[in-house]
Chain A
Amino acid sequence: QVQLQESGPGLVKPSETLSLTCTVSGVSISSYYWSWIRQPPGKGLEWIGYIYYTGNTNYDPSLKSRVTISVDTSKNQFSLKLTSVTTTDTAVYYCARIDSSGYYFLAHWGQGTLVTVSS
């Protein structure tokens, strides 16, 4: 079955770049859309953006200027970079797979990783 696992630093300093990787197992990363979602502590869910295995991306407009999502099909991974972080970027970051229908709902999620922005 599909499994996703986030990895990356749990602590990032303000103004620096947050970098996370999602490793996919159980299915090829090709032929699907993949996404990043985040959840600040005690708050709701925010969709950051998604990528198709071809490299086509789409980002939430509020984060677009700071976000880059990329894919490495040879490693079956996709990644998130968020620049110029502030304390408001502290959140649990989830990677997930968009449904095979192409509709943007999420049946497969990673366990999430907490990233804290602090000096």
Chain B
Amino acid sequence: EIVMTQSPATLSVSPGERATLSCRASQSVSSNLAWYQQKAGQAPRLLIYGASTRATGIPARFSGSGSGTEFTLTISSLQSEDFAVYYCQQYNNWPVTFGQGTRLESK
């Protein structure tokens, strides 16, 4: 099973600033990596797939990069609605696995 490790566990950033979230895979997952946003009491929402492709309706301030074992989600200018928990997910190998999440909070 591929282990996905996200860092940091919690990230405090001021509105309008840039946030950078990291995700590392225990072995290569090529570009088969997705990012989700989850707000309290809601289902996750797909942000990025294929490591860097934005899902339908996702604002351009969200961008993903990386391949192999190292991935990054960048939010270029944080809006109030962006404060949430973010999960990465690899789908290169079965079983599909998620990271433990990064909580993005307002500073």
Contact = CB atoms under 8 A, between A and B. Distances in A.
Nearest to B6: A44
Interface string A78-114: 0000000000000000101001000111110111100
A47 interface: yes
Secondary structure class of chain B's binding surface, majority of residues: loop
A114 B36 CA distance: 20
Contact of B56 (A58, A107, A111): A107
B46 A44 contact: no
Contacts of B49: 99, 103, 105, 107
Q: How large is the interface on B (under 10, 10 to 19, 20 to 34, 35 or more residues)?
A: 20 to 34
Contact of A105 (B89, B99, B101): B89
Residue among A46, A58, A109, A111 facing the most chain B CB atoms (10 A cut-off)? A109
Given A99-B49, A103-B32, A47 B44 contact: no
Q: How large is the interface on A (under 10, 10 to 19, 20 to 34, 35 or more residues)?
A: 20 to 34
A45 B42 CA distance: 13
Nearest to B97: A47
A104 B56 CA distance: 16
B39 to A, nearest CB: 12
A77 B23 CA distance: 34
Contacts of A112: 43
Given A94-B43, A103-B49, A47 B100 contact: no
Nearest to A111: B43
10 contacts: A44-B87, A44-B99, A45-B87, A47-B98, A60-B95, A94-B43, A96-B43, A104-B91, A104-B96, A111-B42
Interface of A: 44-47, 58, 60-62, 94, 96, 99, 103-107, 109-112
| CB-CB nearest 7 A-B residue pairs | A104-B91, A109-B43, A105-B34, A45-B98, A107-B46, A60-B95, A47-B96
Given A44-B101, A45-B87, A105-B49, 20 more contacts: A44-B99, A44-B100, A45-B36, A45-B44, A45-B98, A47-B96, A47-B97, A58-B94, A61-B1, A61-B95, A99-B49, A103-B49, A104-B94, A105-B89, A106-B44, A107-B55, A109-B43, A109-B44, A110-B43, A112-B43
